[in-house]
Structure 1
Amino acid sequence: MQSRSNADAYGIDVSHWQGDIDWAKVRQSGITFAYIKATEGTGYTDPQFTANFKNSEAAGIVRGAYHFARPSESSGTTQADFFVRTLQQQNAKGELPPVLDLEDTGGKSKFALTDWVNQFVAGVKAKTGTNPVIYVSPSFASSSLTSSISSLLLWVADWGVSRPNSFNGWSQWTFWQYSSQGSISGVAGNVDLDVYAGTPGSLHQRFGSVPSGGSSSSSGTKIANLPTLLEGDSGIYVKDLQLLLYKTGQHPNGVTGIFDANTNISVQAFQKDAGISIDGIAGPQTWSHLVEHPVSGRPALQLWSAGQEVTDLQYLLQYRQENPGPIDGLFGPVTEAAVTDFQSKTHQKATGTADMTTWKNLIEVLPQPIA
């Protein structure tokens, strides 16, 4: 099967075991999607399902729901009915396809369990028009299922490997749970880490756009509705403005949410570079140019680098809740440790060197997404 890359979309899967989740922090950590436990067996609804589904939507995370199979309790048809009915009652229509989580045989043989799965799949398809994704580990599938269901999309659970091996007729994964011991800002304790076989853009294109809180080009606050900002203003849109200025290579001296003199200078510098009216005011024309501007090239920074680019890096790390040490323009060991920690949280190779991927991850997720 295929391996994963930094360009892929990364996600988590959660249940009540994770307790209360700060989904805004989860999104800021670079998480694009989440699968959320809805039901189990015939009569259990996860007590955190409603809150998790609602709050992840508000944070702009692409969501899906999963059902934990208990084949000994009732038929696949009955559990499919219960799962879909729960989703409908809670108006929990996510963007991702539903999932059947297979970890329990219920004492059934390979053929009997496969028949049970086919009942569940048919029941979900009849009520939603969508085949569920199958979540399963290679060892469980090999010992407990036949290969006849391998035409369904696979969410493979395989930890601590560079890539899963093919099994039971599956030669590629759509989702891969690659760790059960992840650490993500906004989630207390360990959390399962997942990856989609494609970029965030391809995830949105395949399964639907980001919910209303999201950050894709198809959602968020429309440019025409953005407020006009000038020195003295404050709030979440000023943070957006400051991050976009960093994206274009400017130096607003922090993502503070306060439109101070440094932000004014940066706005004017950007307006000059963009060839538009230079007034230090972020109006419709300035917003439009900022949003459409590609991420400017930044140098790779490493231990003992120094200068304005290091200062920018330190401010951005501080905004992403890392501790870069003093904001002094010197890439010392504390800044290196902060870069390494941020890279780990955003699923990069933790080198301690701030390369272009690190810069993009620091800059691209806006607190108030803009379409």
Structure 2
Amino acid sequence: MTSLAALTFGGTFLARTPAGDTRGHDVSSHQKDVNWQKARSKGARFVYVKATESTTYRNPYFGQQYDGARSAGIIRGAYHFALPDKSAGRTQASCFVRNGGAWRADGWTLPPALDIEYNPYSSKNCYGLSKAKTVSWIRSFSDEVRRRTGRRPVIYTNYHWWKKCTGNSTAFAGNHALRLARYDKSAGALPSGWPYWTFWQYDHSGGLPGDQNLFNGSQAQLRRFARG
């Protein structure tokens, strides 16, 4: 991550810069009511807030977390935790957008994000789907988010799940930003097709509430990325 490159997502120029420029985090109902002014004073410049899971769950703290972050001057976005064995990608995307997963070009709203990873409720890590059906599910989700919001979702995943469950598909690397999950001192191998990560979740705890994240660029670049 030491050389410069460029990539365009939804018309936004995003430069690749050395890691560590802009700190952020993500939160869910586990963090409950967050002290956003304190988070900002500790370095938070962006946050992803869990909005929904499948079609049956909405984070009861979503309003306090999402609106509170904005009031404290933190760029925020919403994410959906996917359960592809429960319903179609389009169905879950529709639920997500209706319940907090919207986007507007105000410079304060990150693109909606899809969290797709190992199944926390079953040993069927790929949710019982074939690689082709998993890719199709993600595409269905993405197309519906794009139709409803005008932005492609950021994809949150990890290298091993992506390789195992999508066959290391390159179908989304050209127009979906990567939010990589890897709790280590380096980002390591990336899912196939992505030349670099846009966000990296590098630890499950730290100085900020929830999981610790970095944006691969400056705060000005983050604002441009949010604007679209």
TM-score (normalised: structure 2): 0.82
Cα contact 2:89–2:138 (8 A) shared by 1: yes
**Residue 125 in 1 paired to residue 146 in 2?**
yes
Higher relative contact order (CA 8 A, sep 6+): 2
**Partners of 1:35 and 1:5 in 2: CA distance:** 18
SS at match of 1:73: coil
Contact 2:113 2:155 in 1 (8 A): yes
- Of 199, 224, 227 in structure 1, the residue corresponding to residue 218 of structure 2 is 199
Q: Distance in 1 between matches of 2:191 and 2:54?
A: 26
Are residue 136 (structure 1) and residue 160 (structure 2) matched?
Answer: no
State the distance in 2 between where 1:182 and 1:114 align: 33
For 1:206 and 1:180, the matched residues in 2 are separated by 24
C-alpha distance in 2, partners of 1:65/1:13? 9
Deviations 1:151-196 (A, max 9, x none): 2210000111323223322221111111112233xx4xxx211111
Q: Secondary structure, in 3 states, of the residue corresponding to 1:165?
A: coil
The structure with the largest strand share of the pair is: 2
1:53/1:92 contact within 8 Å kept: no
SS of equivalent residue, structure 1 residue 172: coil
Q: Provide the TM-score with structure 1 as the length reference.
A: 0.51
Which of the residues 197, 205, 222 maps onto 1:181? 205
**Structure 1: runs of 5+ lacking an equivalent:** 210-371
Q: Residue 150 in 1 paired to residue 150 in 2?
A: no
Contact 1:79 1:120 in 2 (8 A): yes
Among candidates 165, 171, 177, match of residue 195 of structure 2:
171
Give the corresponding residue for 1:340.
none
Matched ranges for 1:237-252 at <5 A: none
Counterpart in the other structure of 1:24: 37
8 Å contact from structure 2 (residues 103, 109) kept in 1: no
* 2:98 equivalent among 85, 92, 95: 85
Specify whether residues 92 and 128 from structure 1 end up closer, same or farther in structure 2 by C-alpha distance, changes over 3 A only: closer
Q: Structure 2 regions of 5+ residues with no counterpart?
A: 3-16, 120-125
CA contact (8 A) 1:38 1:46 kept: yes
Mark the structure with the bigger radius of gyration: 1
Within 5 A, what are the aligned runs for 1:266-345?
Answer: none
Offset, 1:92? 7.5
1:55-105, Cα deviation, whole Å (9 max, x unpaired): 1111000000000001011000100110111127xx875610000000133
Contact 2:84 2:127 (8 Å CA) reproduced: yes
Kindly state the Cα deviation for residue 149 of structure 1 after the two structures are TM-superposed. Answer: 2.0
Alignment partners' CA distance in 1, 2:157 and 2:179? 7
Tell me if the contact between 1:36 and 1:49 (Cα under 8 Å) persists in the aligned partners.
Answer: yes
Q: Is the 8 A contact 2:190 2:197 kept in 1?
A: no
Aligned letter for 2:112?
P
Matches within 5 A, 1:106-121: 106-121=127-142
Change (3 A) 1:192 1:43: same
Could you tell me how far apart the structure 2 residues matched to 1:160 and 1:202 are?
25
Asked whether the 8 Å contact 1:114–1:149 carries over to 2, the reply is: no
**Matched ranges for 1:22-101 at <5 A:** 22-87=35-100, 95-101=109-115
Q: Is the 8 A contact 2:116 2:156 kept in 1?
A: yes
State the number of aligned residues.
201
Q: Distance in 2 between matches of 1:119 and 1:208?
A: 24
**For the residues of structure 1 that align with 2:190 and 2:103, how far apart are their CA atoms?**
33
